[in-house]
Structure 1
Amino acid sequence: MLLFRLLIAGLALVPLGLLVRGVLQGALGPDPGEVVTESLGLAAFQLLLATLAMTPLRRITGWPGWLRVRRQLGLFCFFYASLHLLAFLQFVVGWQDLTASFTKRPYILAGLVAFIILLPLALTSTRGMMRRLGKRWKRLHSGVYLAAVAAWVHFLWQARGDIGEMLAYGVILAVLLGLRLWWSAAVQKRLARPDRA
């Protein structure tokens, strides 16, 4: 299991490593700040989808190892989302006159909603917080679905011209959410079924 965790960590760090290499080699084009910002945001979204995929993979394959890296993937997602936000403030809009940036770029609101939802999820991801919050922990962390939708809207809204990539991600997200709704409905149906003698 340790090797699997290390593999997941290594794969999660690949986008950051590629960005660092691109910066050092000066290979990020005429607007490296924008490339850095977009790459960090896309990595965060991909890791968010990967996090959501862990439960379906567990149910489909029966292997519990998928769930053991779910928190790790979620924290890497938040790590990239934080870097994305910092890069956006530094390279794209600047740290001044943020109000004007929100009105000129409304897609920022969707991204901000996603980040605000992810923040408490990251802060309460430990087993200690899980025990303290009890049933409230599960309700709180169900917000990850809304965060994923908001993040997708954030990227789709700012897509220029070709939206094919974001539509593909949207299909993946719809499948992941649809599976959860289907399984949840099946559970509710079983619970509502009267016991038979």
Structure 2
Amino acid sequence: MASDTQSATENEQHTAPRATQAGASSSAAARRPATGPRWIVPAKVAVFIAAWYPLARIVLFGMTDRLGANPIEFITRSTGLWTLVFLCITLAVTPLRRLTGVAAFVRFRRMLGLYAFFYATLHFTTYIWFDKWFDVAAILKDIGKRPFITVGFAAFVLLIALAVTSPRAMVRKLGRRWQTLHRAIYAIAMLAILHFWWMKAGKHDLILPKIYGAIVVALLGWRVLVWLRERRRRLK
């Protein structure tokens, strides 16, 4: 994230005291950390709290015996769906920033991406722990019969790589390689859709996979169009 900076030229006719005062103010401004719009902090707090809703809903349903006849399946599918929701929202940040001109929207991207990883971790943990009880043989047998699990696991491994390298220290350490690595979110989104599609195809229920697939295609297609337009502009 970059912040805009301003420079001013001192008028030579200013008096020495004024020049000194202006220089001191300029130095103080340079030392002051860049801050965004005032709404950023409360908005981040609101998003942070709202992102816990899916987990709170599962806990509430569990406490009130509303998880259905198969609670493990309910939790697995709920956490998987919310992983996809947060992936879509994360991908929507850049188009929203460019279309609105509000650069501060970028400040939400890391938090949203980490929530996608959080719910993906709950999704994966529910499957290997509560569904398979860490039975490797049963998991391997399940993978052989249902390849969508392999696709989902590949997406999760890529998400781990992005989560581990999300801190600012890693951004500085990796430099340009960080941006290249984090483009993997495009592959993650496509793998997540394929995972969801294959899982639902067995039950002939493709309404939600089609909706989320269209959203992901639109978000990635927008990026392709922007890239093509900028490439033509550079070639002119």
Please classify the TM superposition score into its range, dividing by the shorter chain length: over 0.9
Distance in 2 separating the partners of 1:26 and 1:90: 21
1:33 aligns with 2:72: yes
Is the contact made by 1:34 and 1:91 (CA closer than 8 Å) also made in structure 2? no
Which of 37, 44, 52 is the matching residue for 1:13? 52
**Aligned equivalent of 1:66, options 88, 102, 105:** 105
CA RMSD across the alignment:
1.0
Unaligned regions of 5+ residues in structure 2, if any? 1-39
Which residue of structure 2 lines up, in the alignment, with residue 44 of structure 1?
Answer: 83
SS in 2 for 1:27: coil
Contact 1:28 1:35 survives alignment (8 Å): yes
Q: Spell out structure 1 runs of 4+ moving beyond 4 A.
A: none
Deviation at 1:74, TM superposition (A): 0.3
Q: How does 1:89-104 map to 2 (within 5 A)?
A: 89-96=128-135, 97=137, 98-104=139-145
Name which structure has the greater RCO, CA cutoff 8 Å, separation 6+: 1
Give the TM-score of the pair, scaled to structure 1: 0.95
1:61-108: CA deviations, max 9, x gaps? 111222100000000110110010000112333311121121022110
Corresponding residue number in structure 1 for 2:172: 131
Query: Counterparts of 1:100 and 1:68 in 2: how far apart (Å)?
Result: 42
The size of the alignment, in residue pairs, is: 193
**AA aligned opposite 2:122:** L
Q: Which residue of 1 aligns with 2:226?
A: 183
1:111-122 matches, cutoff 5 A: 111-122=152-163
Kindly, what percent of the aligned residue pairs are identical?
A: 37
Question: Take 1:112 and 1:93, find their aligned partners in 2: how far apart are those partners?
Answer: 15
| 8 Å contact kept, 1:114–1:150 | yes
Question: Unmatched 5+ residue regions in structure 1?
Answer: none
Structure with bigger helix share is: 1
User: What is the alpha-carbon distance in structure 2 between the residues aligned to residue 158 and residue 100 of structure 1?
Assistant: 16
